[in-house]
């Protein structure tokens, strides 16, 4: 099977790594990719938001399957263009990707499907904003309605900050605050059959102890030793399957990866958000534990054949990933700095620990930082403590001037396990 992956983050590196280990994959391509992905896949230049260009590349490569990683091409309709061209694609249509692209749309689908989520108001004027903020009280949760890569959300006790964020957006969703730990649960679906993966936890705040600004995610781990063993089944029946059924009922079936961001509150499971793609950095730890070869799973989803797939097999190992970010991330990051230590990790820590690249590029023999999130250092172990130790040992070998990473990824879960 010839596979083309669209995207250039650590998520795409994790996808390409797993696909490269799948004996069914005879050729692996990625566009645009990064310096790390280049070691496992052939890279191509393409405007990932241009459906015609991506379809032309898929045709030129004779791709049997295209996997679209990030949300922006999905929301731009790249999967639709591929489907029209007759190429099997893993990723939802533009209409279905609105589950991620519009928070208000997602709330409407959840209401139709009876899926539990935070109560909310959609507001466009300062008067509506004030009424909603006062109705819920602090802590205030204000979300930009549009696509914001996980950074359009402000959670604050300061009503002026809540008002200011609302004023900076055209349309906001203001909702009740959800207490309790967060869980990311992904499901592969062909629009009908829903196959949940293993749960993971993401660390969204920039600094240790969940302080600092929200980011796209600073680290993740799986499994969750503290979670109810029934969690996956409960979420399948109360959230994932009803949402997929509702999308099909609306005539916009969702096929691809449905990502449920959940809060386990004192009153039960609530959906915080849906995404229409694999999460980053959770994918790095979920795929590290998946033993079933990946290409067949994604192909079955793309071709409507998931009902016939064997149950997924999972390793009992734990996995931890630590994101190494540029100076000033999540603000405007500094880029162009050389990254050192990658060969040492490959020589001394593999196969249990390895570096997945996000914002990197190669210049001659050097690998340079090229974005806010630069690397996702991933490790497995017999438990979270061992996986964590291996991940941080590898992180310590990596040199990147001014870089930052959290030191407490999976610390509490490892200590409590
Ligand atoms: P979202 O982009 O909707 O995932 O929100 C980003 C982050 O903001 C989430 O991962 C939570 O940490 C936080 N958040 C979002 N909605 C809520 C809520 N209703 N209550 C508490 N925290 C929230
Ligand atoms: N880890 C958060 C996201 O992928 O949106």
Q: What is the mean pLDDT of residues 227-240?
A: 97
Please tell me the predicted confidence (pLDDT) of residue 68. Answer: 98
Angle, CA 392 vertex, CA 388 and CA 395 arms, to 5°: 145
Which residue's CA is the nearest one to ligand 2's atom 4? 279
**Cis peptide upstream of residue 32 (ω within 30 degrees of 0):** yes
Cα(153)–Cα(174) distance, integer angstroms: 10
- Is 275 touching ligand 2 by the criterion CB < 6 Å? yes
State the architecture of 180-308 in CATH terms: 2-Layer Sandwich (3.30)
- Is 377 touching ligand 1 by the criterion CB < 6 Å? no
* Helix intervals (H) in 236-281: 241-249
pLDDT in tens, 128-141: 999 999 999 999 99
Please tell me the predicted confidence (pLDDT) of residue 283. Answer: 98
Average pLDDT, the chain: 96
Task: Indicate the top mutation candidate among 135, 272, 330 to test ligand 1's pocket, ranked by most ligand atoms within 8 A of CB.
Answer: 272
Measure the CA dihedral 344/409/388/351, to 10°: -50
Q: pTM for the full model?
A: 0.94
Q: Read off the pLDDT band of 193 (50, 70, 90).
A: very high
Q: What is the mean pLDDT of residues 352-364?
A: 97
Minimum mean pLDDT range among 143-157, 187-201, 369-383:
143-157
Superfamily holding 120-175: ATP-grasp fold, A domain (3.30.1490.20)
What burial class does residue 325 get, using C-beta atoms within 10 Å of its C-beta: 0-12 exposed, 13-18 middle, 19+ buried? buried
- Is 175 touching ligand 1 by the criterion CB < 6 Å? yes
Domain 2-90 class in CATH: alpha beta
Minimum mean pLDDT range among 19-33, 100-114, 276-290, 366-380:
100-114
pLDDT in tens, 196-221: 999 999 999 999 999 998 898 999 99
pLDDT in tens, 273-314: 999 999 999 999 999 999 999 999 999 999 999 999 999 999
- Cβ count near 75 (within 10 Å): 21
DSSP secondary structure of 96-160 = TTHHHH-HHHHHHHHHHHT--B--EEEE-SHHHHHHHHHHH-SSEEEEESS--TT-SEEEES-HH
The backbone torsions φ and ψ at residue 406, rounded to the nearest 5 degrees and listed phi first, read -80, 145
Please tell me the predicted confidence (pLDDT) of residue 149. Answer: 54
Domain 318-416 class in CATH: alpha beta
Q: Is pLDDT at 24 greater than 70 in this prediction?
A: yes
Domain chopping of the chain, boundaries: 2-90, 120-175, 180-308, 318-416
Cα(344)–Cα(239) distance, integer angstroms: 43
């Amino acid at each position: 099977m010839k596979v083309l992956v669209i995207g250039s983050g650590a998520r795409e590196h994790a996808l390409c790594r797993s696909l490269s280990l799948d004996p069914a994959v005879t050729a692996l391509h990625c566009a645009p990719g990064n310096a790390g992905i280049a070691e496992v896949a052939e890279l191509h230049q393409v405007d990932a938001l241009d459906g015609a260009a991506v379809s032309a590349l898929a045709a030129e490569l004779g791709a049997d399957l295209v996997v679209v990683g990030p949300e922006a091409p999905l929301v731009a309709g790249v999967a639709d263009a591929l489907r029209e061209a007759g190429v099997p694609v893993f990723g939802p249509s533009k209409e279905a990707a609105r589950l991620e692209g519009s928070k208000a749309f997602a709330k409407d689908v959840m209401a139709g499907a009876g899926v539990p989520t935070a109560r909310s108001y959609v507001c466009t004027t300062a008067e509506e904003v004030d009424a909603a903020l006062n109705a819920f009280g602090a802590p205030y949760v204000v979300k930009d309605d549009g696509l914001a890569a996980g950074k359009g959300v402000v959670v604050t006790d300061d009503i002026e900050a809540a008002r200011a964020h609302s004023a900076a957006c055209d349309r906001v969703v203001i909702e009740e605050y959800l207490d309790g730990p967060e869980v990311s649960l992904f499901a592969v679906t062909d629009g009908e059959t829903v196959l949940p993966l293993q749960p993971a936890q993401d660390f969204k705040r920039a600094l240790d102890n969940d302080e600092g600004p929200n980011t796209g995610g600073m680290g993740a781990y799986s499994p969750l030793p503290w979670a109810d063993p029934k969690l996956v089944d409960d979420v399948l029946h109360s959230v994932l399957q009803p949402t997929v059924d509702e999308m099909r009922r609306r005539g916009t079936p969702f096929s691809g990866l449905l990502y449920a961001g959940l809060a386990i509150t004192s009153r039960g499971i609530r959906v915080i958000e849906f995404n229409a793609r694999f999460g980053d950095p959770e994918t790095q730890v979920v795929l590290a534990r998946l033993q079933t070869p990946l290409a067949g799973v994604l192909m079955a989803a793309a071709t409507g054949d998931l009902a016939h797939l064997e149950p997924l097999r999972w390793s009992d190992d734990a996995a931890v990933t630590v994101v190494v970010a540029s100076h000033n991330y999540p603000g405007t990051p500094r880029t162009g700095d050389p990254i050192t230590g990658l060969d040492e990790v490959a020589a001394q820590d593999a196969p249990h620990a390895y570096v997945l690249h996000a914002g990197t590029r190669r210049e001659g023999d050097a690998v340079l930082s090229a974005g806010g999130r630069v690397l996702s250092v991933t490790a497995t172990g017999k438990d979270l403590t061992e996986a964590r130790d291996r991940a941080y040992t590898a992180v310590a070998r990596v040199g990147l001037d001014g870089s930052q990473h959290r030191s407490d990824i999976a610390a509490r879960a490892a200590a409590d396990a």
